[in-house]
Structure 1
Amino acid sequence: MPVDAWQLIYRSTSATGAPNAVSGTLLVPRTPWSGGPRPLVGYAVGTHGLGDECAPSYRLRTGTENEIALIGRALLAGWAVVLTDYEGLGTPGRHTYAVGRSEGHAVLDAVRAAARIPGAGVSPTAPVGLFGYSQGGQATAFAAELAPSYAPELNIVGVATGGVPADLAEVARFNDGNAGFSLVLAAAAGHDAAYADVPFEEILDERGRAAVSRVREACTVELATIAPFGRIADFVTVPDPLPDPRWVARLAENSAGTRVPAAPVYLYHGTLDEVVPFAVGEELRSAWCARGAEVRWQPIPLAEHILGVSVGGPAALTWLGDRFADRPTTSNC
């Protein structure tokens, strides 16, 4: 595509408030933009895996980025796009997969970094839209909730987020014994990377240690093959770790819906989602609406997880375009 690209390393903040370094990529179309600052999309990718070679910046360089159709759609509209690789995905340390607080910080700081790149033409006052699905949905939901206190200077005009694993405990229970069980192990490994107080390594049995070792290096396709239809009880030495107060607290910290988003939200979810149950999306919609947020809720009928973004993603980008054009929003809370 006719774009200029910059690979970034920028300062962000971990889930526990410590400074860290995160990588990412800024893409700016070469076509001129008129009528004010060029819009900027803070793009958060869905699950890519936990190994460094899974980072979207690497995949963009090697031509293997599976979300390029949606990224390209934003670029063809003339918008700049900045993607975060998230904490520990492409930089030293382990990836904090499914840790919403870390992901939200990484998204917001990528947007901040984009405006500091000499010659990129991204204005600090540019209208910002946040876009993400699945893991990216969690990241953008948290970015939207954290922005008023963490990055109040950003001009966020809309948040398009879908397939959001808003209640991590409920998602874990749903996938216990299902095809997506490897994602439960990945999320546990991500929380272990973010927090020193959750019991993880010490409760894994031999099978659990072997599976987690593979999970920590796997990208999406391999990740799905590691332990399909597994159960938590088959990988640990305790009856059930989820009721442990330390896990309860950390999973609650990284579940969305506890704060009002910084801007209007387009929230979409497949009604037959086999990874993040549709009820979790409904609960997030209800939580945000109850707090007075402006939410456009869009179920995707008969759609499972991948079809949810295939159908809902383009519509979500169109909705962001309306926000950049300053058209009125309609909430269906």
Structure 2
Amino acid sequence: MAAPAGDAFYIPPKVLPAGDPGDILWSRKVPAAGKLKDANFTVYQVLYLSTDTHDQPVAVSGTIVFPPAGSRADMPLLGFATGTHGLGDDCAPSKSLAAGADDWADILELAASHGWAVAATDYEGLGTPGPHTYAVGRAEGHAVLDAARAALRLREGGLSRNAKVGFWGYSQGGGAASWAGELAPGYAPDLNTVGIAAGGVPADLLKVSAGVDGATWAAVEFMAALGFDAAYSELKLDSFVLPAARASLDQLRTACVKQAVLSFAGKHARDVFTTDPLKSTTWQKRLAENSLGSTPPKVPIFLYHGEKDDVVAFGQAESLERTYCAGGADVTWMPIAGANHDAASYLEAEPVAFLADRFAGNPLASTC
């Protein structure tokens, strides 16, 4: 099916065609921009089938990048999960990557410069119709895994269906990459997954929310509330919202991350809600379902986190490492002394080396 032009690209058919997760509805080659143009990479946008939290089909958009050299038949694939962009459709990573203005473009450029193809999802509802299910781990994990499947199925791509696949992400993306690792054996056993690198991971959402309440990055607490409300109709977030806060929360639904952080900096749950929904048993059940650790990855995972993280609490990430180790996972754990959330996001050499070793089949020295 031919890809529609412009933003119509992101609008799937009203009735999704039958197909499997990862099947491509349509794709288009787009001009490489910014760092991707400078390196002469080839870039495609794709609209592909994925699965929501209720195991129902949903269309998700994303970006696939190929380096200019190397045999694609032997090329590994990196599924990259971007960090927080916001909740509005205009915030979709594929749009800012196409404009040469995405904050995570350097990671895609770095990965492709190592001879890897890269698949970067927009996540459910970011760019495509419907609200973005922000912070809902199962939805994000599905989107990441199915972006990798789409890259392998892209006719123009030429990748082997048995290509080695690794996942990498930071912050929201660190959670999504970790979820991809937990879900892959059951949801995507067809992928030849060999390793995961995940930084700044929001593993326990209750603890992460408690840590940012009233802080500079308080916006992510309210974005997560909107994301969960989008995924689970029984949560009824609107019933908790103070009348005076309704307009600002509605604006958050279409805001990109920088605007969101500025608008909600310093706000507490009590400033927005009549009672904190996160203290509701209904909300806590859904949050628990989307907290990491219950199914340790079957492939090696590199976890890194700033010890002074001011957005995603360090302690809950350290607990995830211990849980994974206790569950038999091969974990390489790297706490970064003195680093806050922003500083740790710039760690690149170690995740790249870890993934390169996994693609090469080199031995692993677990820190468990």
- Under TM normalisation by the shorter chain, which class is it? over 0.9
- Equivalenced residue count is 330
Q: Who is 2:144 aligned against?
A: 107
Q: Who is 1:32 aligned against?
A: 70
8 Å contact kept, 1:132–1:160 = yes
Counterpart code for 2:366: S
Match of 2:283 among 247, 252, 257: 247
Counterpart code for 2:165: V
Counterpart code for 2:47: I
8 Å contact kept, 1:174–1:277 = yes
Q: Who is 1:270 aligned against?
A: 306
Match of 2:267 among 215, 225, 230: 230
Counterpart code for 2:289: E
Aligned-residue offset at 1:269: 0.2
> Are 2:168 and 1:168 aligned?
no
Distance 2:152 2:305 in 1: 32
Counterpart code for 2:157: A
Aligned pairs for 1:77-156 (under 5 A) are 77-156=114-193
Q: Who is 1:22 aligned against?
A: 60
Aligned-residue offset at 1:26: 0.7
Moved more, 20-29 or 115-124: 115-124
Aligned-residue offset at 1:95: 0.4
Aligned-residue offset at 1:207: 3.0
Aligned-residue offset at 1:313: 2.9
Percent of pairs with identical residues: 46
8 Å contact kept, 1:214–1:226 = no
Distance 2:242 2:85 in 1: 26
Distance 1:159 1:318 in 2: 12
Which digits, 9 at most, give the CA deviation of each residue in 1:294-316, with x for residues without a partner? 00000111100011111x23311
Indicate the SS of the match to 1:129.
strand
Point out which structure has higher relative CO (alpha carbons under 8 A, 6+ apart).
1
Q: Who is 2:24 aligned against?
A: none
Distance 2:181 2:225 in 1: 24
Aligned-residue offset at 1:119: 2.1
Which digits, 9 at most, give the CA deviation of each residue in 1:84-138, with x for residues without a partner? 0000001010100000000000000011111111121111100001000000011
Aligned pairs for 1:36-75 (under 5 A) are 37-75=74-112
> Are 2:216 and 1:199 aligned?
no
| Runs of 4+ with deviation above 3 angstroms | none
TM value normalised by structure 1: 0.97
TM value normalised by structure 2: 0.88
8 Å contact kept, 1:156–1:262 = no
Counterpart code for 1:133: Y
Q: Who is 1:321 aligned against?
A: 356
Distance 2:118 2:103 in 1: 16
Distance 2:104 2:348 in 1: 10
8 Å contact kept, 1:33–1:78 = no
Which digits, 9 at most, give the CA deviation of each residue in 1:124-160, with x for residues without a partner? 1000010000000110111100000000111111100
Counterpart code for 1:321: A
Counterpart code for 1:328: P
Distance 1:33 1:259 in 2: 35
Specify every segment of 5 or more residues in structure 1 that has no aligned partner in the other structure, as ranges: none
Distance 1:236 1:305 in 2: 27
